[in-house]
Each structure stands twice: as structure tokens, then as C-alpha cells.
Amino acid sequence: MTTQGYLSTKPIPARERLILALDVASLEEGKRWVDRLGDSVQFYKLGLQFLMTGQYFEMIDWLASQGKKVFADIKFFDVPETVRLAVEQLQRRRVDFATVHGNDAMLEAAVSAKGNLKILAVTVLTSLDRGDLDDLGFQCDPEELVLSRARRALKLGCDGVISSGLEAARLRGELGANFLVVSPGIRPVENRPSDDQKRTVDVADAFLGGADYIVVGRPIRQAPDPRAKAEEMQATIAGIFRG
């Protein structure tokens, strides 16, 4: 199902389509990575590990001062009113995207308070495969669960979804182009046995399948030359969107 017909036509600068997962242990280490990567990365994801540094908002403010975009990947999951109040607080910051991982009431609460913040619904984590879903009590194929959750999220007013690139083309084919697809689990080569990401695709397949953005962490951070690896991915992206 990977086809040029699903290539994103949204007016997103090509170099902003690569989001770097800044999964590090301190504010200082985060700043070092941003300085090291320079203009090879324009968009950063701050997740739960960074939240635990106690300097999450300092990093958001510093990234914004550097002209970078910010994706707050906290995966809000709580009582709907608590989710609403948390999103209301977050949207006052210079944050572009935030994730919610919950039921319809939680998603609806987040949407009601989002302001200019874009709310992305988590569909199925890319670390889960069919066996994992069976263990969790979901007796269905991952693609069907992703589609079901995405359909509900969009009806509730979410701006887009987090989805593996494996499901992006199906989402585009059935739900159209007027929402964001952000795809983590990008792996340029076959996974190592120790890698916890299971439903993966490479850079080109993610975008050709319909993703608007990709999230990349370890393939860049663990590369011998991280900036060169980021620029290599940026060149691939530029080639896809020029074509």
C-alpha cells in the first residue's frame, strides 16, 4: 500500500518533518545535543524521561529561544477533567504538539482546552505487535485497532494521530489527508534483537505511506556521527518532497 499517492501535501517545511526524540537525562545534556545537531534538526520531542529531569519547562523555553519547535510527548491519560486542566496549562507554553493516550472522554477534554496546541491521539505504540495486543486483551490486528482509534480521535476534534508508518497508508486511504500523521519507530536498517521497537519502517516508506512527520531517536543519537546521520535523513526527506 506504500504509494506516492499518499505523499503529504501540507505546507510543512521539509526540514521540520524530522523530529528528534530528545530522550536524555538532564537539561545540560539536552542542550549539548541541540548544539551538536545544529540546523540539522529543527523539531524536538520531549518525552517522559526528560519530564523526570525536573527541567522540562526550562527545556521547552530554551528550545523556543533557539527557534526550535517542540513536541510534548507526555501521553496524557487520566480523569477527563484532569486531562483538560493539564492541556490548558500546557497550551500556554511554546509547544506545538502534545499527545493524549486515552478514551473518547479524555480526548474530548484535551481538545476542549488545546488553544493553538495540536493534539495527537496515540493509536497503538510501535513497541507493540499482535502478540502484545493479545496479552492486553485486544483480539484484533494492530492495523484495525489503529484505524478504529484514529477514526474516533478525528471525530472528536484531534489534529492528528501517532501511528506507525506501517499503518499510515491505510489511514490515508480510509480517512483522507486532512489530519496529521506522526510516525515513530523509524529504523533505517533491520532492528537489532535488543531494540524494543517492533512495528517499524524506514524514512522513505513512512513518508511515501502518508506520514507528515517522523520521530527518530536512537538511529541518530547512537550513530557514529549524529549530525551527519540527521543530515542524511534530511537529504532523503528533501528528495522525496522535491519529487
Domains recognised in the chain with CATH numbers: 4-238 (3.20.20.70)
> Which pLDDT value is given to residue 192?
47
pLDDT digits (tens, 9 = 90+) for 69-128: 999 999 999 999 999 999 999 999 999 999 999 899 999 999 999 999 999 999 865 554
User: Which position among 31, 75, 118, 155 bears the catalytic label?
Assistant: 75
Q: Catalytic: 68?
A: no
Residue percentage of the chain with pLDDT more than 70: 85
Q: What's the count of helices (H) and strands (E) in the chain, helices before strands? A: 11, 8
Give the span between the Cα atoms of 157 and 118, in whole angstroms. 10
Cell numbers given for 182: 506522526
Beta strand pairing call for 43-46 and 18-21: parallel
Q: Across residues 21-25, what is the average pLDDT? A: 96
For the four alpha carbons of 69, 74, 79 and 85, in that order, the dihedral sign comes to negative
The CA-atom distances, in angstroms, between 51 and each of 21, 55, 70, 104 are 13, 7, 13, 25
Helices 27-37/56-65 angle, 10° precision: 20
Least confident of 20-34, 123-137, 168-182, 226-240: 123-137
Least confident of 17-21, 80-84, 135-139, 157-161: 135-139
Give the span between the Cα atoms of 92 and 95, in whole angstroms. 8
Query: Do residues 87 and 61 lie in contact, with contact meaning Cβ atoms separated by under 8 Å?
Result: no
169 pLDDT above the threshold of 60: yes
Task: Please give the mean pLDDT across all residues of the chain.
Answer: 88
